[in-house]
Amino acid sequence: MKKIIFLLMLCAIGFNMTATAQKAINSVHFYDVKNADMEKTYIASLKEINTIMAEMGFPKNYYSYFKLAASDTTKTYRNCTIGHWTSEEDYKTIHDHPKFKAWANKNKDNNAVFITGQLYRKFYAAD
């Protein structure tokens, strides 16, 4: 099971690595969404923060959402969000920005309801 999750994570990062700068990082969140309605609301929340980040002047920093195929029998970590960040500095600037904090605060309770048992990692581009 751990091997499957690890391989899935590596594939997702490799496939979705869009920033080419060596300072680029990706944050990876594995979790389970409780139901389809909550999934739609969560996706809308991610679209909202992506729009906010672009308005803040960071259009190359965004979140992508993935899920396993319905036919996959894996029981946990069926959903994944990858944050694409151009640098550690931009990551920090975005997360410290009042607009990002307002979005996070507004969605804090909702996202906790949507997601259970999150596994989070931050990956840095290899030299």
Identify the CATH number of the domain in which residue 89 sits.
3.30.70.100
State the average pLDDT over residues 121-126.
86
Share of the chain above pLDDT 70, in %: 76
Stated length of the chain: 127
Domain of residue 21 covers 2-124
| Long-range CB contacts for residues 49-53, cutoff 8 Å, separation at least 24 | 49/100, 49/103, 52/99, 52/100, 52/103, 53/94, 53/100
Asked if residues 68 and 4 have their Cβ atoms less than 8 Å apart, the reply is no
For 56-95, the pLDDT digits (tens) are 999 999 999 999 999 999 999 999 999 999 999 999 999 9
pLDDT at res. 102: 94
Q: Answer whether 0.85 is exceeded by the pTM.
A: no
Domain count, the chain: 1
